[in-house]
């Protein structure tokens, strides 16, 4: 995995040493010798990860990390603090400042590169989600409501060990102690936001549980924090290579655990926000915002697919075009808000008369299109007549205008014929709709069995 890493240390020898080790693993290395230079280089080069020394004159690593995380342009860059400090207060202070990891010198190469690879994988996922969000919504980057309470599955080799570990959780996290591997997976699938699992206990294969959680679509994005023995870096490496989100060393310090849990929860909720926005953008691309039906572009693509399926397997397909009669009079008499109410009400009545597999869309201002796969012209005509009758049966109440109005709808139906293109099929349905309008409206006309 190639990436750009910013190494920050006021001692040149330390920077050179880290550069040599990272370059040997094919990383692109940028150097900075102070906190202010780190902020400048981070903004200028946009690194994928920052290795940050804590003990620097002037602006120390803690303050530098806080400023990186406060800047929208750099807040998502993972920060690994590398320092000679080894007190638990220093680790907690670093994690609370926004650091993703706190490594004590001398740094074990295996542990360092395992951490780097893991954080780069997480950043790659978030970067892709952010890129898609910016493509749809611009650079808006809100991060509201990322903190708060959460349910944590606490797994260990026996219930007593799980309960002891759960007792170390901060007050806002509700722990569910468990010792059954199958139960852990089942509970995680049910919607727990975090999993804390002790892999130092040999009573069950905790790494296999981690692998199952990562392989399952329902739990693939659930943060997993593993408890490992501090003198067994190979356990940490195996866990991180399996996709575990974070590790904490035994004996577990409650303050450090709290900081790591909060970081993982915030990252998870931020990723969920990005995914939700992406889904919204995809929906906005195909849905008409007024009626909730598919828009014209989406209907055109589905019609093309249906015509291709007809050519490949001769599966029947029919099209209905509906048009609300005298719709302009409604807008002219009671205003566009009343017209919008009628459009939504017509959509609701139409939906009740169609099959679940029929695809309905808003094709124009007051025009609707329905695509009926596997339906001949007769079946489509019957569906169109059901819709027409449902629209005409009862008047529509326009709340904004305080009146009721009689509304009718006309329809043109066309079944696909050999040689039809999507455009030709629509043209035949449109010609039938024109005939229905010319014949007095409030009726259904089926196109002739001859291509135009």
Catalytic sites, residue numbers = 366
Q: CA-CA distance, 253 to 101, in Å (whole number)?
A: 15
Q: CA-CA distance, 276 to 285, in Å (whole number)?
A: 14
Residue 286: partners with Cβ closer than 8 Å, 6 or more residues away: 294, 295, 297, 298
The three-class DSSP label of residue 202 is coil
**Are 16 and 24 spatial neighbours (Cβ–Cβ below 8 Å)?**
no
CA–CA distances in Å: residue 153 to residues 159, 272, 386 = 12, 19, 53
**Are 355 and 384 spatial neighbours (Cβ–Cβ below 8 Å)?**
no
Phi, psi of 218 (to 5 degrees): -70, -25
Q: CA-CA distance, 258 to 96, in Å (whole number)?
A: 9
Q: CA-CA distance, 369 to 361, in Å (whole number)?
A: 5
- Our CA dihedral for 421, 427, 433, 434, rounded to 10 degrees, sits at -170
> Strand 409-415 relative to strand 317-324: parallel, antiparallel, unpaired?
antiparallel
132: nearest Cα among 302, 281, 238: 281
Q: CA-CA distance, 78 to 64, in Å (whole number)?
A: 13
Q: CA-CA distance, 38 to 45, in Å (whole number)?
A: 10
């Amino acid at each position: 995995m190639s990436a750009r890493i910013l190494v920050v240390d006021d001692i040149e020898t330390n920077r050179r040493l880290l550069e040599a080790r990272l370059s040997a693993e094919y990383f692109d290395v940028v150097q900075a010798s102070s906190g202010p230079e780190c902020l400048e280089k981070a903004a200028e080069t946009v690194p994928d990860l920052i290795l940050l020394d804590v003990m620097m004159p002037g602006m120390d690593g803690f303050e530098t990390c806080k400023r990186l995380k406060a800047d929208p342009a750099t807040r998502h860059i993972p920060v690994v603090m590398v320092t000679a400090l080894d007190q638990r207060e220093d680790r907690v202070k670093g994690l609370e400042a926004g650091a993703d990891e706190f490594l004590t010198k001398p740094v074990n190469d295996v542990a360092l590169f395992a951490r780097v690879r893991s954080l780069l994988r997480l950043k790659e996922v978030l970067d892709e989600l952010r890129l898609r969000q910016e493509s749809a919504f611009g650079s808006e980057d809100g991060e509201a409501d990322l903190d708060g309470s959460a349910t944590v599955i606490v797994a260990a080799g026996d219930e007593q060990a799980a309960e002891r570990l759960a007792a170390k959780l901060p007050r806002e996290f509700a722990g569910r102690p468990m010792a059954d591997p199958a139960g852990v997976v089942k509970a995680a699938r049910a919607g727990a936001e975090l999993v804390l699992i002790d892999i130092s206990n040999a009573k069950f294969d905790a790494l296999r549980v981690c692998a199952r959680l990562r392989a399952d679509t329902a739990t693939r994005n659930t943060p997993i924090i593993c408890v490992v023995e501090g003198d067994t870096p190979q356990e940490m490496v195996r866990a991180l290579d399996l996709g575990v989100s974070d590790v904490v060393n035994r004996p577990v310090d409650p303050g450090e655990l709290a900081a790591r849990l909060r970081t993982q929860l915030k990252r998870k909720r931020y990723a969920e926000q990005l995914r939700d926005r992406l889904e919204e953008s995809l929906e906005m691309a195909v849905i008409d915002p007024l009626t909730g039906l598919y828009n014209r572009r989406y209907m055109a693509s589905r019609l093309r697919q249906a015509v291709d399926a007809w050519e490949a397997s001769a599966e029947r397909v029919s099209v209905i075009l509906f048009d609300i009669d005298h719709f302009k009079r409604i807008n002219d008499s009671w205003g566009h808000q009343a017209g919008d109410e009628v459009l939504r009400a017509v959509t609701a009545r139409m939906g009740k008369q169609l099959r679940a597999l029929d695809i309905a869309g808003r094709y124009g201002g007051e025009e609707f299109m329905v695509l009926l796969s596997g339906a001949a012209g007769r079946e489509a005509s019957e569906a169109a007549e059901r819709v027409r009758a449902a629209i005409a049966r009862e008047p529509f109440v326009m709340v904004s205008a305080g009146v009721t109005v009689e509304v009718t709808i006309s329809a043109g139906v066309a079944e696909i014929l050999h040689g039809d293109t999507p455009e030709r099929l629509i043209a035949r349905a449109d010609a039938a709709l024109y005939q229905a309008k010319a014949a007095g409206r409030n009726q259904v006309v089926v196109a002739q069995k001859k291509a135009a």
